[in-house]
Each structure stands twice: as structure tokens, then as C-alpha cells.
Amino acid sequence: MKANKQLNHSSAHLLAAAVLKLFPNTKLAIGPSIEEGFYYDFEFENPITDADLVKIERQMKKIASGGYKIEKTNSINLANQPYKLELKNEFEKDGKEITYYGMINPSNGESIFTDLCAGGHIDSISSIKNFKLLSLAGAYWRGDSNNIQLTRIYGTSWETKEELDAYMKLLADRKERDHRKIGKDMNIFMFSHLTGQGFPIWLEDGTIVKNKIQSYLREAEKRYGFREVQTPSFGSEELYKTSGHLDHYKDDMFPTLVVDNERLVMRPMTCPHHVIIYSDKRRSYKELPIRMSEHAKLYRYEKSGALNGLERVRSMELTDSHIFARRDQISNEFKNAYALIQEVLKKFNIKIDYISLSLRDPKEKDKFYDNDEMWNDAENQLRNFLNEIKVEYKEVIGEAAFYGPKIDIQVKTALGHEITMSTLQLDFLLPEKFNITYIDDNDNRIRPVIIHRGLIGTYERFIAILLEQTKGDLPFWISPRQVTIIPISHDEHLEYATKIAKKLENEGLSVKLDDRNERLAKKIREAQKSKTKFQIVIGDKEIENNNINVRAYGSDKQTAMKLEDFIKIYI
């Protein structure tokens, strides 16, 4: 949803006026409108809390009912407002016009609050009726982490109550889908500043999910002719110099590490390693295609502001592959890899937003390797492939890899970000850079091509999307909590419950026995929150009848059945 800019900009003024009224010594920074609302950055004398937000919102309502106009007005003394003063001095230096806007009381023409501002408002504050303050966040002055951290208050303002209600509903839905929240509830992953920003830690249940997905992918890759290798997380600077990464991809890489007399980089991609494996032997045309795959740990320097849960991280595991092929094999290899991607995404029921044919921007000579002929050839091959298999796609300029064009499977996150999941890329450059060849049937040395394949992309991003699209209700076969067994009384029912747990574990299920001495209601609530697929409650009746009481996730129905029947029906 897109909010009215002028209304939200004016609401930011109203927020600042209310804050100054309640906390007169507050220093004001900036307060723009944004796509879905507005914010204002403040330096408070003392930290404020969510409870203060309620007070501020009430104060805003009070001021809004006063019938003030927003108009251009006289300058004010900014001596006590260092951030405003800094901005004003800067505008003056740049030769910009300095303007002030006030909230004018129509009865006496006086302004109750004046801000340094370029304008863009609604006429009267009393039109600000349907708004809410949403949250508090830390924000550095001018977005620079060397500067002081200010307090940012986010809000949203709409013309009608219906729009505000619809927007609040959207926020609630997003929150419910947000993989960061679900990931916490389900014990999937965590971060800690002590282990490094953007370096995710897979927790017990997250590791179960990841391992189950991995076993399935390994089996599927094998069926499609891929063979797995494992290479190290570091490579020499020389390797990444040869590949071109240090010329075109350096901004996304961690700095070089010097050990003894080696200069090492944490690898951002696997391709150079796989090329080293390829070139370790003399290759004949009969060996091709070679489909090398790896579930590879990669490290990328993503800007701290871009990091977002598992969606964008700095250490990741990519379901990677490099296919070394003859030119006459390109089409078949694309078909094979594409079919594998389709099968896998379908298996998980992933909702795709669109397919992108990601091309170079010929104007950006630094970002993309400079060789028009090579690019035109590779881009046409991908376009022809997509046309041949008759899928709809969008051509997107400037989104190619530095070494070649890509076919990207795009998905939309709960927060509305557009991100790439699976990818297929055609590369004539790396074979050239590493001077790799195969011997044809006439004993000539011929250059192969490389097709880069990200099957589900990285586990991190894939699981983030999966959690969001399913709201955590994962398919049974990858669920980390297929069954939770809850004895009603710790003393009387634990023994029978343990027996049931053992039997189900022997069937290969992921079972959690909640053997804590806790209240039943609490255990049930927590099982629900962890999104366990089946809750089995054990009490006197179950022991007496030698059966179990089952409830499926999302259902209120409880069913008594024999353990053997449960196994027969669900496993």
C-alpha cells in the first residue's frame, strides 16, 4: 500500500510538535514521509519506551483537534537544535533556499511549532485523523555508524479509517509471516553480535529442516546426473584475481587475510574452485558434460543495513553447481537443470513471482566484463532457451552476473522485497580466464562453457521464504516437530508417553516428548507455537484404552486412535 506523501509529511510535523510538548529538551533531526507512512528521528534526553508512544500519540490527537494550519512562516532560532543547525548551514553552503513551516493558530497567527522544511504539506493539521505510531528504532544521524544513535519513531497516516484499518491488517499479516518471528518461535535460527553480524546460527530444529531438505536435494541432483564435490571456504587471492572476482566483485567480498606468506580470501563463490578441479586433468569431449555440484559455504560482505534475518546474510550455504559443457550441449544442459529446479520448487510448493532474464547494462563497464560479442551471444542463447520452453519472463537490464547473463527465479518476501531464489547462468568468461579446454575427436583443444546453477539458491534464503509462504506450517516430511507428545501428568503418564515416543522415533519421525513438569495448557500452547504437526496428549483415558489422543496442527478436532492406526494413516 502506498500512503499519501503530503499527509504523512505533515503527520511527521505533528509528531515532532507532540514530542516537544511532552519532552521539551528533545533535539530534532529529520522527519520525512516514506512509502507506507513517516518517521522522525529524535535525540531524547532520556530513553523512551513503547508506553511513551501511547502518550505521544494521544498528544498528537490533542494538537490535531486544535485546527492549526500548516504554512510557510518566519525563521526560528535553531541554537538549541544542533542537527537542524547543521542541516541549515549545509543548505546555505549549497546555495539552497531555506524555508520554515509552522503550525499556525488561525485566531492569533502564531505558530505553535515551526520546523526547518522544504514543504509539501496538507493545509490543515485537523485532517490528520487516521494515524498510528508504530514502533521505535535506533537510527544513526545521517545513517553513519560513526555518528550518534538517535531514536526513530515510525508512524503511518491515512485519509480514511478504512485505509488505516486495512494497512494495520496488512502489518499484522506480515508480522505473522515474517520469517524472523516464525524462526524464533520454531527454534530455527538465531544471531548474536558475538558470533558476527549476518552470520546465522542454525538451531536444533532448523538443522533438522535443513538436513531433511539437503537429503532430498542430494537424491534429486543425483537423478539429474550431478556429482557432488567439496571444496574449502577459502581461496587464494590469485585464484580470485584470475577469475575476475577481485576486479568486478571486490565490494561484495571480505578483505584479504594474510597467513604466513599466503594471501587468502573467504570465498564469495565456488566457481573458481570447481574450475581448478576441472583443470586438474586432461578432459576429453567424451567426458562432457561434467555436472559438478556442491552444497557450498560462501561469505559475502553485504552492507549491514541490507542484512535481514535469513533472507540476506553474510555467511550462507549455496546449493551450487557448475556444468562444464560443449557448445552443442548448452541447450540440453539448460533443459536438464531447469527441469530439476522446477521439480524441486514444485515439491515445496514455492510461489514464484516471476522469471527474470537478467542482462548486463552495456553502460556499466566496471560491473560487467567488457566484451560485447560474448555478451550478445550468451544473452541470445538464454532468450532462445526461454522462448523455446515457452515460459513467460521479464528482461531486466543490469542484473546479470559480471561473467554472464542469468535466468533468475524471483520470489516476493512477506515484507515485499523482490529476491532471487534459483538461478541459471551462462558463462563464456571464466573458461577463457582460466584457459580451460577439452580435446575433441580431432585432437583439437576446444574451450568448454560453464553453466552456473543455484538449485534453491542458499538454504538461508530458501528456508526464510518457505517459513513465510507456509507461515511456519512446513510440509510434514521436513517438519522438525512432526509429533509432540504431551503427558498430562508428569508423574502418572510419563512412562506410557515415553514408550509412544520411542515407537514413533523408531518409525523415523522427528518426535519431541514434552517431559517438563508444567501445566497442560502451557505445554499445548507451546506445542502450537512451535507448529508441531501432530500433538499427542496422554492421560488416564489413553493408558486405560491403550490408545493415543491426536490433534493435527491448525485443527481443533481431537481424535482417539490406536498408535498403529496413526502410523498407518500418516506415515
Q: Catalog residues that contact ligand TSB under the rule CB under 6 A.
A: 269, 271, 300, 302, 312-313, 316, 318, 320, 322, 401, 420-421, 423, 452-454, 457-458, 460-461
Q: Provide, rounded to whole angstroms, the least separation between the CB of residue 385 and Zn ion.
A: 18
Q: Measured from the CB atom, is 188 or 486 closer to ligand TSB?
A: 188
The number of beta carbons lying within 10 Å of the beta carbon of residue 170 is 13
Stretch that binds Zn ion, among 96-104, 142-150, 361-369, 451-459 (CB under 5 A): 451-459
Residue 432 interacts, among ligand TSB, Zn ion, none and using kind-specific CB cut-offs from 5 to 8 Å, with none
**568 vs 564: CA distance, rounded Å:** 6
Residue 454 interacts, among ligand TSB, Zn ion, none and using kind-specific CB cut-offs from 5 to 8 Å, with ligand TSB
Which residues sit opposite 568 in a β-bridge? none
**412 vs 567: CA distance, rounded Å:** 37
Pairing of strands 483-487, 511-513: parallel
Q: Applying CB under 5 A, does 453 fall inside the site for Zn ion?
A: no
Quote the cell numbers at residue 10: 505533515
Q: Measured from the CB atom, is 288 or 429 closer to ligand TSB?
A: 429
Q: Provide, rounded to whole angstroms, the least separation between the CB of residue 269 and Zn ion.
A: 5
Residue 185 interacts, among Zn ion, ligand TSB, none and using kind-specific CB cut-offs from 5 to 8 Å, with none
Q: Provide, rounded to whole angstroms, the least separation between the CB of residue 484 and Zn ion.
A: 41
Residue 461 interacts, among ligand TSB, Zn ion, none and using kind-specific CB cut-offs from 5 to 8 Å, with ligand TSB
Element at 214 (helix H, strand E): helix 204-223
CA 559 to chain centre: 38
Residue 467 interacts, among Zn ion, ligand TSB, none and using kind-specific CB cut-offs from 5 to 8 Å, with none
Q: Measured from the CB atom, is 271 or 456 closer to Zn ion?
A: 271
Q: Provide, rounded to whole angstroms, the least separation between the CB of residue 131 and ligand TSB.
A: 35
The number of beta carbons lying within 10 Å of the beta carbon of residue 205 is 20
CA 228 to chain centre: 27
Phi, psi of 217 (to 5 degrees): -65, -40
Residue 272 interacts, among ligand TSB, Zn ion, none and using kind-specific CB cut-offs from 5 to 8 Å, with none
Binders of Zn ion: how many residues, by CB under 5 A? Answer: 2
**381 vs 217: CA distance, rounded Å:** 27
Evaluate whether 11 touches 124 at the Cβ level (below 8 Å). Answer: no
* Helix/strand/coil for 200: coil
Phi, psi of 420 (to 5 degrees): -90, 135
Quote the cell numbers at residue 11: 503527520
Q: Measured from the CB atom, is 452 or 523 closer to Zn ion?
A: 452
* Helix/strand/coil for 181: helix
Q: Provide, rounded to whole angstroms, the least separation between the CB of residue 452 and Zn ion.
A: 4
Q: Measured from the CB atom, is 182 or 318 closer to Zn ion?
A: 318
Phi, psi of 549 (to 5 degrees): -115, 115
E strands in 141-256:
149-158, 189-190, 201-202, 227-228, 234-236
Q: Measured from the CB atom, is 27 or 452 closer to Zn ion?
A: 452
Q: Measured from the CB atom, is 142 or 250 closer to ligand TSB?
A: 250
Q: Provide, rounded to whole angstroms, the least separation between the CB of residue 225 and ligand TSB.
A: 17
Q: Measured from the CB atom, is 57 or 302 closer to ligand TSB?
A: 302
Q: Provide, rounded to whole angstroms, the least separation between the CB of residue 486 and ligand TSB.
A: 36
Q: Measured from the CB atom, is 206 or 457 closer to ligand TSB?
A: 457
**179 vs 320: CA distance, rounded Å:** 23
Residue of minimal Cβ distance to ligand TSB: 457
- In the set 452, 453, 523, 533, which binds Zn ion (CB under 5 A)? 452
Q: Provide, rounded to whole angstroms, the least separation between the CB of residue 306 and ligand TSB.
A: 8
Q: Measured from the CB atom, is 309 or 480 closer to ligand TSB?
A: 309
The DSSP secondary-structure symbol of 284 reads: B
Residue 457 interacts, among Zn ion, ligand TSB, none and using kind-specific CB cut-offs from 5 to 8 Å, with ligand TSB
**221 vs 98: CA distance, rounded Å:** 63
Residue with cell 549476518: 198
Q: Provide, rounded to whole angstroms, the least separation between the CB of residue 465 and ligand TSB.
A: 10
Q: Provide, rounded to whole angstroms, the least separation between the CB of residue 54 and Zn ion.
A: 51
Q: List helix spans (H) across 307-394.
A: 330-347, 372-388
How distant, in Å, are the alpha carbons of 11, 20, 49, 87 from that of 151?
17, 14, 10, 18
Q: Measured from the CB atom, is 185 or 302 closer to ligand TSB?
A: 302
Tell me, what amino acid is at 181? K
Residue with cell 547462468: 425
Q: Measured from the CB atom, is 9 or 452 closer to Zn ion?
A: 452
Question: Interface residues for Zn ion in 267-306 (CB under 5 A)?
Answer: 271
Residue 313 interacts, among ligand TSB, Zn ion, none and using kind-specific CB cut-offs from 5 to 8 Å, with ligand TSB
- Helices and strands in the chain, H and E counts: 17, 28
* Helix/strand/coil for 373: helix
Residue 300 interacts, among Zn ion, ligand TSB, none and using kind-specific CB cut-offs from 5 to 8 Å, with ligand TSB
Q: Provide, rounded to whole angstroms, the least separation between the CB of residue 179 and ligand TSB.
A: 12
Of 293, 380, 288, 354, the residue nearest 327 (C-alpha) = 288
Evaluate whether 449 touches 431 at the Cβ level (below 8 Å). Answer: yes
**472 vs 464: CA distance, rounded Å:** 10
Q: Provide, rounded to whole angstroms, the least separation between the CB of residue 189 and ligand TSB.
A: 12
What would the x/- binding string for Zn ion be over residues 365 to 404, using CB under 5 A? ----------------------------------------
Residue 421 interacts, among ligand TSB, Zn ion, none and using kind-specific CB cut-offs from 5 to 8 Å, with ligand TSB
Please give the residue ranges that form the binding site for Zn ion (CB under 5 A): 271, 452
